[in-house]
Structure 1
Amino acid sequence: MDKKRSSVPLVCHGHSRPVVDLFYSPITPDGFFLISASKDSSPMLRNGETGDWIGTFEGHKGAVWSCCLDTNALRAASGSADFSAKLWDALTGDELHSFDHKHIVRACAFSEQDTHLLLTGGFEKILRIFDLNRPDAPPREVDSSPGSVRTVAWLHSDQTILSSCSDVGGVRLWDVRSGKIVQTLETKSPVTSAEVSQDGRYITTADGSTVKFWDANHFGLVKSYNMSCDMESASLEPKLGNKFVAGGEDMWVRIFDFHTGEEIGCNKGHHGPVHCVRFSPDGESYASGSEDGTIRIWQTSPAIIGENGTNLGNGPVSGKVKAGADDISRKLEDLNVSREGKNGEKDKSTDV
């Protein structure tokens, strides 16, 4: 029997405009969750394993550029072109607080130890740290970023902040206590994606057509691989660390061997550039978000499809995939979340 390797993704509909950021929660007693940011102004929460839609956070007035969940997946945060970052109750969808900024917020991240700090950055070239136990208190500000902030992350038990810029190459590592840059990881192009690995060993970056892996403790360059096109995002497999995924302008999600850089798989299906890719915390799947407004969840081990279309391996069964997508669509219709309703006229100045 003729057999071939084929990845059949779970396709998650619901966003009416491009999906620009994805974030997986750690594994919780209730499983793990996936939150997505989109230019349609409404972040969405899903079951991270099945892709089933759970709810939509409504309240932003402009494109949402960044989103995250705390370690228990009880609270969510988002950064928007409406000059605000919002804190949400991830169980009820209620807005808990809105933090005003003076320009577009491009990035946000919860601290990892006790998740009571929220870090934001954006067009103001200022990193802000909000104390969520005192949300009305003025934030701590670190205002010497050399450019507009594109990504932020915490590392070293929240003693260090990582940031990259939209218009300047490199990744800067800041000492939280002093507010000073202690190290710069040099890149030729602006870094569009920066991820700290689950075990804290590596920083994965995408800049232009290069994906790099850095030692997160000694800051040396571990691996650097040239890609066939500009890659906007990359993510390292969290369990074994033996593969990584990357996506970018060619609309495909590619899988590579971490040790050699050899391409070991290519998933086609998106109809626009891929803006973000992230591995699930169990390493068994990874998600991609695209200009086409969809999220696709791919199995790490693709199905083996026989010549009659029968699934012979451990990958997803196409019937289940379709049922999952139909279930999501039905839930969205029940709540009157339609593309027409989400795609109304917006202030052009807030969709940057």
Structure 2
Amino acid sequence: MRPYLLKGHERPLTQVKYNKEGDLLVSCAKNLQPCLWWADNGMRIGTFEGHNGAVWSCDFNIDSSRLFTASADQTVRMWDLPSGKELFQFKQQEPCRAVSLSIGEGMLAFTTDAFMGTQPMIHLAKLEQDVEEQQAKTILSIECPKGRITRVFWSDLNRTLMTSHDGGWVRKWDSETGKLLQETQVNQDAIQDMQISQDGSHAITASLDKTAKLIDTETFETLKTYNTGRLVQSAAISPLYDHILLGGGQDASSVTTTSAKAGGFEARFFHKVYAEEFGNVRGHFGPINTVAFNPDGRSFCTGGEDGYVRLHHLDMDYHTTKWF
């Protein structure tokens, strides 16, 4: 399985994301320009220029005509995907971290970090069909407890919002009133990434407590725990098989003191039900910060501290081997 190496960033990756069809891939990094790639051969289509800070996360609309990005430059921006033109920006007073588009694309949820005495917050904005009529004003702002909000998702047909936080907390909020409905400390340390399954019934958290947890999105009950022995920066659920993909490795600040093998910088495959590791894919020099499965489950990509995106198309052996 030979990967495509996509070099579009000088700085560490923060998120890689496929569109709904799985033919496009966007990579966000701590440099200023998110990159758009073809997902089959890794050819770069272009970059989105305009941000003045690290871009932390992104989201596509369903027909891949729009891209939304959240950045440390205190803006969430809306882009025209085919042309790369900036259409609109939601300006905030704090660095923006996570972004998520609602079902039906009528609303946008994004989060801001604690900054200069303010609390971390979730903001909801109404999206207009016509960009000319778009308002920057948010319709609801929810103040959250202390600790960075790392991911936000819509759930229960837009009735609730699900967030992951520093400290290992997962919380559910009413999207109409902003009321906190449920909270559970799933992990013992910061949750770096959270991804939802395709049917929305369960989610996976990746944490600095060296575990990934599979949780029920309704009850927040922990269904499975994947122990890795190393910091977990990102986790993804296969849409095709009962497989989990984990990325991480030793902390970036102490990478230079160890060999690549000792650092644990490989993408690791676990069985979703048996919670046993059955394979890994090496290649990155430094920790893996973000992983994603293609929506068809036949390829995946990883983004590392080394600035590379590695795009892997899974061999036929992967599909034909009975792993357990």
Taking structure 1 as the reference length, the TM-score comes to: 0.79
- Give the aligned partner of residue 118 of structure 1: 108
> Which of residues 119, 129, 153 in structure 1 aligns to 2:124?
129
- Give the aligned partner of residue 277 of structure 2: 263
Q: Note the 1:198-347 alignment, pairs <5 A.
A: 198-208=198-208, 209-240=210-241, 242-249=242-249, 250-301=264-315
Report whether the alignment pairs 1:158 with 2:158.
yes
Contact 2:214–2:225 under 8 Å retained in 1: yes
Q: Following TM superposition, where does structure 1 have runs of at least 4 consecutive aligned residues deviating by more than 4 angstroms?
A: none
Cα distance, 1:188 vs structure 2: 1.0
Cα distance, 1:212 vs structure 2: 0.6
- Report the identity percentage: 32
Aligned length, in residue pairs: 294
Q: Note the 1:23-62 alignment, pairs <5 A.
A: 23-27=17-21, 32-62=23-53
Q: Which amino acid aligns with 2:37?
A: R
CA RMSD after TM alignment: 1.8
Q: How far apart, CA to CA, are the structure 1 residues paired with 2:183 and 2:29?
A: 30
Contact 1:85–1:105 under 8 Å retained in 2: yes
- Give the aligned partner of residue 93 of structure 1: 84
Contact 1:199–1:238 under 8 Å retained in 2: no
Q: How far apart, CA to CA, are the structure 1 residues paired with 2:315 and 2:95?
A: 39
Q: Which amino acid aligns with 2:240?
A: K
Q: Note the 1:49-88 alignment, pairs <5 A.
A: 49-88=40-79
- Give the aligned partner of residue 184 of structure 1: 183
Q: How far apart, CA to CA, are the structure 2 residues paired with 1:121 and 1:206?
A: 19
Q: Which amino acid aligns with 1:117?
A: M
Cα distance, 1:300 vs structure 2: 3.3
- Classify the secondary structure of the residue corresponding to 2:188: strand
Q: How far apart, CA to CA, are the structure 1 residues paired with 2:145 and 2:76?
A: 19
Taking structure 2 as the reference length, the TM-score comes to: 0.86
Cα distance, 1:302 vs structure 2: 6.3
Gaps of 5+ in 1: 1-6, 305-312, 315-352
Gaps of 5+ in 2: 115-119, 250-263
Cα distance, 1:235 vs structure 2: 0.3
- Classify the secondary structure of the residue corresponding to 1:45: strand
Q: How far apart, CA to CA, are the structure 2 residues paired with 1:163 and 1:104?
A: 17
Contact 2:89–2:136 under 8 Å retained in 1: no
Q: Which amino acid aligns with 1:255?
A: F
- Give the aligned partner of residue 197 of structure 1: 197
> Which of residues 7, 21, 26 in structure 2 aligns to 1:13?
7
Q: How far apart, CA to CA, are the structure 1 residues paired with 2:184 and 2:4?
A: 36
- Give the aligned partner of residue 117 of structure 2: none
Q: Which is higher, the Rg of structure 1 or of structure 2? A: 1
